[in-house]
Structure 1
Amino acid sequence: MELNSIQCVSSSDVTDENEIHHHQIQPQFVSSKPHNNVVSSGIHPTTSVNELLECPVCTNSMYPPIHQCHNGHTICSTCKARVQNRCPTCRQELGDIRCLALEKVAKSLELPCKYCSRGCPEIFPYYSKLKHETLCDFRPYNCPYAGSECSVTGDIPYLINHLREDHKVDMQSGCTFNHRYVKSNPREVENATWMLTVFKCFDQYFCLHFEAFQLGMAPVYMAFLRFMGDETNARDYSYSLEVGGNGRKLIWEGTPRSVRDGHRKVRESNDGLIIQRNMALFFSGGERKELKLRVTGRIWKERQNPDGEVIIPNLST
């Protein structure tokens, strides 16, 4: 569904209401402290242990089982299946030969996290390193844009610029917001996603999403907020969303989800303001033939006492 099929009119605490039209990282193997050089068939004497453990196909670190051909060229188990059992170096058949010597060498190594250049100070045994890197706080973030399969990754400042320049996402400052969603023929909308706005609040960034999808057999709309950072920091903030009309209203309060959680994961957990389509059309008034929803909200930072209990919400911007 095209993003410009829905009209979004937005205002914040610092702007007037205006119409808004919405239109892998290859892992780098970080060298550890110098180790004794290893000499084997077809390997130059100055080749480092790190280079020996790099798969020639995917360039990732190799973990058991490490395979080799009859000439001693090695390859990781994942790539072995991809090359039709042919050595990518000499084209000989790989067979089922394990390079047990290289696996033993790997077991003795301690290496820095591959995100050390981003600030991670940790050093791990070779076989623990991979597990850590999948959860490392310094790993890059995925682009949080909804409605497309964007593969861009990076730190938060990089992604903010990417969202602004490449996805033309609306950027606002302030901790309160007011959006109006207008859509003719809303019954035609069965599965659509929009990232409507990125807010800068408390020197942090938050993404507001609005989606239409089927919840079981019921067509619904869902609005939710995601924090551009890790889950630990997301817990420092709370937000509220409110929608209503014809003398009724729905209110949601919760904690923003980290962008580490994809928007599909948030949707599937129902962690946001959910509005059934019939209720949304009731809020819209008229003959229920046009969607006219106004969603307001605010973000605040929780203050905690030494025991970790929330005491007073800080509503300053």
Structure 2
Amino acid sequence: MNPGGSFGEKVVESRPSVADYTTVPTKSESNATTKTKKSDVSFVGKRGIRSNNGVYQLLECSICTNFMYPPIHQCPNGHTLCSNCKNRVVNSCPTCRHDLGNIRCLALEKVAESLEFPCKYRNIGCLDISPYYNKLKHEQNCRFRPYNCPYAGSECSVTGDIPTLVAHLKDDHMVDMHDGCTFNHQYVKSNPHEAENPTWMLTVFNCFGRKFCLHFEAFHLGMAPVYMVFLRFMGDVNEAKRFSYCLEAGTDGRKLIWQGIPRSIRDSHRKVRDSLDGLIIQRNLALYFSGGNRRKLRLRITGRIWKRE
């Protein structure tokens, strides 16, 4: 059982795969990648001329020290800052205290347009060089961008590639690992009326040669205690869209069925949960499905993962 929950037991029955296939900027990311240092940066102009750190410093906001993107603002004395910081300084230049006004530094914007910049993940394998204004978009979709740990039970800051995270989930979070594209879980909770704090469980499945995270949650939706089950794909968004899954809960001929597309772990666990993108069961109905005297949760969830055409 994973830490953080109060479930009394968990029974897992994994069946073989239905087919045998083989296929493939956050705060925590900075822990797994080397930050861009000023001394490491060299811009490359469209004519192949490398600039020195002087250009780097011109494009660095004097307040937040991040790179500036249009609109780049300046005060009448020529001190520049990014648009986000301009909104925070209440129209007063932080360098000379002169009124900022609404002056655009068009010359600096033009200089930036002519430059190219290496990906910040170059130290872990990316060799791409992007136009300055496309740098952020490239890094957001870079295949070398590390993934965040998908475990929901703690503020885990571990990042890495998929094999690294799978080993981390197994060794550090004691997550159950199973092979197969079908599953049959029974979630048991001795006192389901204790739902003041969220509880969670996580299982990782190896299916079609890829890894999937099955989440089971207990939390309050408004004032109503609910249980939610959903699947996440350990890979990028476009790859996740190649798969579908279904979930089923019920008893005595009554069923709740959910079918969807697994969300990539690029989306945070909280984002997926708060979007309600999964099978949601109110506590009273979950207890009805559990049978008996309805005082103990014994909820069986079955499901299947398949490749989309």
Q: How far apart, CA to CA, are the structure 2 residues paired with 1:240 and 1:8?
A: 23
1:179 alignment partner in structure 2: 185
Give the secondary-structure state (helix, strand or coil) at the position aligned to 1:178: strand
Amino acid at match of 2:282: Q
8 Å CA contact 1:222–1:272 kept in 2: the answer is: yes
Check 1:144–1:77 CA distance in 2 against 1; reply closer, same or farther (3 A cut).
Answer: same
2:174 alignment partner in structure 1: 168
Check 1:162–1:75 CA distance in 2 against 1; reply closer, same or farther (3 A cut).
Answer: farther
Give the secondary-structure state (helix, strand or coil) at the position aligned to 2:193: helix
Q: How far apart, CA to CA, are the structure 1 residues paired with 2:170 and 2:64?
A: 32
Deviation at 1:210? 0.8
2:160 alignment partner in structure 1: 154
The superposition leaves residues 43-65 of structure 1 with CA deviations (integer Å, 9 ceiling, x where unpaired) of: xxx64534654568866433353
User: Is the counterpart of residue 203 in structure 1 residue 209 in structure 2?
Assistant: yes
- Pick one of 19, 22, 36 that aligns with 1:28: 36
Give the secondary-structure state (helix, strand or coil) at the position aligned to 2:112: helix
8 Å CA contact 2:290–2:297 kept in 1: the answer is: yes
Q: How far apart, CA to CA, are the structure 2 residues paired with 1:137 and 1:36?
A: 26
1:133 alignment partner in structure 2: 139
How does the TM-score come out when normalised to structure 1?
Answer: 0.71
Deviates more, 1:288-297 or 1:192-201: 192-201
1:213 alignment partner in structure 2: 219
Q: How far apart, CA to CA, are the structure 1 residues paired with 2:160 and 2:237?
A: 17
Q: How far apart, CA to CA, are the structure 1 residues paired with 2:117 and 2:253?
A: 63
Check 1:287–1:137 CA distance in 2 against 1; reply closer, same or farther (3 A cut).
Answer: same
User: Is the counterpart of residue 270 in structure 1 residue 271 in structure 2?
Assistant: no
1:248 alignment partner in structure 2: 254
Deviation at 1:198? 1.0
8 Å CA contact 1:246–1:282 kept in 2: the answer is: no
Q: How far apart, CA to CA, are the structure 2 residues paired with 1:205 and 1:134?
A: 22
8 Å CA contact 2:72–2:80 kept in 1: the answer is: no
How does the TM-score come out when normalised to structure 2?
Answer: 0.73
Amino acid at match of 1:5: S
8 Å CA contact 2:182–2:302 kept in 1: the answer is: yes
Deviates more, 1:239-248 or 1:280-289: 239-248
8 Å CA contact 1:237–1:301 kept in 2: the answer is: yes
Give the secondary-structure state (helix, strand or coil) at the position aligned to 2:272: helix
1:313 alignment partner in structure 2: none
User: Is the counterpart of residue 65 in structure 1 residue 51 in structure 2?
Assistant: no
Deviates more, 1:117-126 or 1:165-174: 117-126
2:287 alignment partner in structure 1: 281
Give the secondary-structure state (helix, strand or coil) at the position aligned to 1:187: coil
Deviation at 1:280? 0.8
1:238 alignment partner in structure 2: 244
Deviation at 1:249? 2.9
Q: Identity rate of aligned residues, in percent?
A: 62
The superposition leaves residues 233-270 of structure 1 with CA deviations (integer Å, 9 ceiling, x where unpaired) of: 11222222222234433232222111122222322332
Check 1:167–1:74 CA distance in 2 against 1; reply closer, same or farther (3 A cut).
Answer: farther
Q: How far apart, CA to CA, are the structure 2 residues paired with 1:215 and 1:152?
A: 29
User: Is the counterpart of residue 260 in structure 1 residue 266 in structure 2?
Assistant: yes
8 Å CA contact 1:170–1:198 kept in 2: the answer is: yes
Q: How far apart, CA to CA, are the structure 1 residues paired with 2:7 and 2:264?
A: 26
Higher relative contact order (CA 8 A, sep 6+): 2
Check 1:271–1:225 CA distance in 2 against 1; reply closer, same or farther (3 A cut).
Answer: same
The superposition leaves residues 153-211 of structure 1 with CA deviations (integer Å, 9 ceiling, x where unpaired) of: 32222222222233222222222222221112211214514242111111111001011
Deviation at 1:8? 4.0
Check 1:300–1:131 CA distance in 2 against 1; reply closer, same or farther (3 A cut).
Answer: closer
CA RMSD after TM alignment: 3.6
Q: How far apart, CA to CA, are the structure 1 residues paired with 2:172 and 2:79?
A: 43
8 Å CA contact 1:8–1:181 kept in 2: the answer is: yes
